[in-house]
A and B are shown apart, each in its own frame.
Chain A
Amino acid sequence: MTTSERVCRRCRYFVDDPHAVEQAFVGLTILSSAWGDTRGNQGLCIVHQQFLTPKLTCNHFTIRR
């Protein structure tokens, strides 16, 4: 796997499913949505507990099965 493929989008620790994102942020749906373009394909890294764009990488990368 090349470095460019070791990105959050392909990582098992990256939660970008809209339903899961809405579960993770209480109150998000009151005035916004995880199914909108402003959230887009960003997601939550459960290792770093950070909200990230999907093209980043880190030493904890583990391929998503």
Chain B
Amino acid sequence: MKRGLNLFKTEDYWAIWLGLLVIVIAVAFFWSGSTLKPWVVKPGSWSTLAELGSDFAKHAGGYVAILFGFGAVFALSMKVMGRDVRQFLLGFVVLFAGALAIFYLAGWSIMQKADLGAPLLALLVGLVIGNIKAMPHWIAASLRTEYYIKTGIVLLGATLPLTLIAEAGPIAFLQATIVSVTTWLTIYLAATRLFKLDPRFGAVLGTGGAVCGVSGSIAIGGAVRADKDHIAIGIGVVSVWAIVMIFTLAILTKMMIPLPTVGIAGTPAQVTPTGAWELSPAEAGAWVGTSEYADAAGFAVVAEIAEEHGDAAIYAFTLMKVIGRDIWIGIWAFVLSIVSVVYWEKKDDVNSPHGRVAATVIWERFPKFVLGFFAATILMSIIAAQAPEDRRGMAPMKGTFKSKAQKANYDADFSSFVVPQNLADRFIIDTGSGTISFVGKMSLPDLREILKTANSDQAWALKSLHHESDWYESVLLPKVIDPIKTLRSWAFVLCFLCIGLSTRFRDLMTFGLKPFWAFTIGVIVNVPLGFILTTKVFVDYWRGLQ
């Protein structure tokens, strides 16, 4: 295959092109003075059928736009990759309708009281339907779990600050490496020493548990020349455990994350765990990042956490799983291919396939979509740095303050307000127009300083001004980042629904007890180790991540 064609022949590259296309379109709308927001929507909350109907009528145009936008690019990619476009499109329409129904189900007041978000609902509903009836071919053609999650991860790159990767990336890599190597050795030794399985089979199981799930098993299977049956068993064991861990980790982390308090600026403050079994959302994300086996499965857990606690869990998971574990699969493949040739293969079997795996395998097995994730992060960080230095944020003296954590109406009188001396040249009170304004970005220490002499109504107005003075928060976030996040949510829910619909436990549970127990021993070591490293050894890093 020619190198140029490779750029359009795998789902990894198409996830990059689709993700970056969305980001470029969002930025282009923004620079032309508009925003994608009216067209990029998802269902809101409802408690009566009238509210449901009203929400649907309000957003119907947006749903059609997303269906056509995603559908067109996915269909084009299917065509270029040589797949049946008609079957895909038919299935995709049904899948999209299913995702829409899941969003509405999650928005129902009863589901919200039950603390069930769209990610877990998609998985649950999909599992029930998928295990009652096998999907027909035309729907199965659209069940591309990994393609959708990769697209979502590239979009996620646009919302994750580059500085976060630079600060927490090395710690994530260190922690992930400790967990990966320990888990791999545990599963491998259990498989080969305890259960006397073939070493290459042990390597397939070990990499599935330690690096990147089913994709890891496949990548290593080829590198060590594993038997077909061993890979098939590896897929079954890893998939079953991955789905069990989605529900286990989602339930545990929901119980262990305390409710957030409200921060000074009215936004949810950092959750402060106090007990030994309490977690901050980022700690939960990091723990899931070491304990889940596949990206899609792990994102199902952290996306569920994010429904209530914001994106910190998603960021920590991404750092741990994608950057800490996934991107090293090529190196695992190269090293294990050498070990296989030197130690595991029978030297006297001249009929067996032979030849060495070249170092180029490091790049060949590299999950290329990660490049799109980094490109999106860099691109959005450059755009975020374009904030005008002399920007003057403005807030009305009478209005409504609204944040994720608080909402309040206020009517403030600033006629006799005493402005702190050090901020007097930046803080402007215009009683004529009934506004207050601030030159440049108001920092949290600035806000604390001004709030010292403020009464309740003035405090709400000042919190509004604090928000408006931040170009990223008040302009870039709602106009560019939020629509990208909404599309990311669609990609994730499509993915979680696919996991459920394509999982048929009856087909998967064909493995024997030896590989199952070898893998289970790895789980028993992996989960507590990840928890201890996250909450004890590297706790300062993860608690500091918001």
Contact = CB atoms under 8 A, between A and B. Distances in A.
Nearest to B294: A31
Contacts of A7: 355
Interface string A7-34: 1100000000011000011111111111
Interface in A39-58: 39-45, 48-53, 55-58
A27 to B, nearest CB: 5
A33 to B, nearest CB: 4
A55 B235 contact: no
A56 B146 contact: no
A15 to B, nearest CB: 10
A38 B294 contact: no
B223 A38 contact: no
Interface string B346-385: 0000111111011001001111110000000000000000
B390 interface: no
A38 B329 contact: yes
Given A39-B219, A51-B218, A30 B502 contact: yes
B353 A29 contact: no
Interface residues of A, number: 38
Interface string B40-54: 000000000000000
A59 B349 CA distance: 11
A35 B507 contact: no
Nearest to A45: B353
B354 A28 contact: no
B232 A36 contact: no
B213 interface: yes
Nearest to A28: B235
Interface in B211-260: 212-216, 218-219, 221-223, 225-229, 231-232, 235-236, 238-239, 242
A50 B213 contact: no
B146 A37 contact: no
Contacts of A49: 227-229
| 8 nearest A-B pairs in the assembled complex, by CB-CB distance | A42-B222, A32-B214, A31-B294, A33-B146, A38-B215, A56-B353, A56-B355, A51-B221
24 contacts: A27-B232, A27-B502, A27-B508, A29-B502, A30-B503, A31-B296, A32-B294, A35-B147, A36-B146, A36-B215, A37-B12, A37-B368, A38-B219, A38-B365, A41-B1, A48-B353, A49-B228, A51-B222, A51-B228, A52-B225, A52-B353, A55-B355, A56-B354, A60-B351
Given A24-B228, A48-B353, A59-B351, 18 more contacts: A25-B235, A26-B507, A27-B503, A27-B504, A29-B502, A32-B235, A32-B294, A33-B145, A35-B144, A36-B150, A37-B369, A38-B219, A39-B215, A43-B222, A50-B225, A55-B357, A57-B355, A59-B350
Interface of B: 1, 10-12, 81, 83, 143-147, 150, 212-216, 218-219, 221-223, 225-229, 231-232, 235-236, 238-239, 242, 293-294, 296-297, 329, 337, 350-355, 357-358, 361, 364-369, 499, 502-504, 507-508
